[in-house]
Amino acid sequence: MKAWWLALCLGLALLVAAGLQPAMALAAPSVAGAGEGVGAGAGADMGAPAGAGAIELLRLQVPAEQRSCWLQAEAAGWGPWLERQQGFAGRELFWNARDAEGVLLIRWRRPGDWHGIADASLAEPQQRFEAEARRCLALAATADTPFVLLGSAELLPQP
């Protein structure tokens, strides 16, 4: 079974357990290269009810021995930045031990809140994230990004 499908199923199971609507649509899946941040997907508001939230699903390559550094980098780079964003409703981080992947579920009050973020504003938290990861892993400042983005998707509630 594909790793992205397992991550999606995990995310949906968590949403159902949390009491959110279990009927979800997957919009605009993509695979991005190293150094890319959250970014807006192309499938904004794909039939979602007015005022409905959205969940951004991200998958990162995170080897077992680097998991604590990933969590530390998330807390230092993206955590504080997300807290300041309009419409940010929370974030959950998971680690898939079998596939050595970090899985993030980032909740937004409305898809427009996430899609309204200017791409240029993503560089600063991504740079902080990467700098903290390199520091924690004792890598050179010029080393490639330690935790590569493997894929992303947007989950929209359905009526």
Between the CA of residue 8 and those of 91, 122, 152, what are the distances in Å?
15, 24, 10
Would you call 154 exposed, middle or buried from its count of C-beta atoms within 10 A (0-12, 13-18, 19+)?
Answer: buried
Report the sign of the C-alpha dihedral through residues 141, 142, 145, 146, in that order.
negative
- At 157 the pLDDT is 86
Nearest Cα residue to 157 out of 114, 119, 108, 116: 108
Residue 27, pLDDT > 90, answer: no
Let me know how long the chain is. Answer: 159
Q: What pLDDT, on a 0 to 100 scale, did the predictor assign at position 1?
A: 41
* CB-based burial label for 54 (10 Å; 0-12, 13-18, 19+): buried
**Cα–Cα distance measured from residue 52 to residue 17, given in angstroms and rounded to the nearest whole number:** 18
Amino acid symbol at 151: G
Structure tokens at 77: 């780079």
- Looking at residue 25, its pLDDT comes to 37
pLDDT tens sequence across 28-49: 333 333 333 333 343 444 555 5
Q: Tell me the per-residue pLDDT of 88-140, one tens digit each, with 9 for 90 and over.
A: 999 999 999 999 999 999 999 999 998 999 999 999 999 999 999 999 999 99
pLDDT number for residue 47: 57
Q: What mean pLDDT do residues 67-96 have?
A: 97
Pick the range with the lowest mean pLDDT from 25-29, 52-56, 59-63, 116-120.
25-29
Mean pLDDT of the chain: 78
Going by C-beta distance under 8 Å and a sequence separation of 6 or more, which residues neighbour residue 51? 110
pLDDT at 52: 74
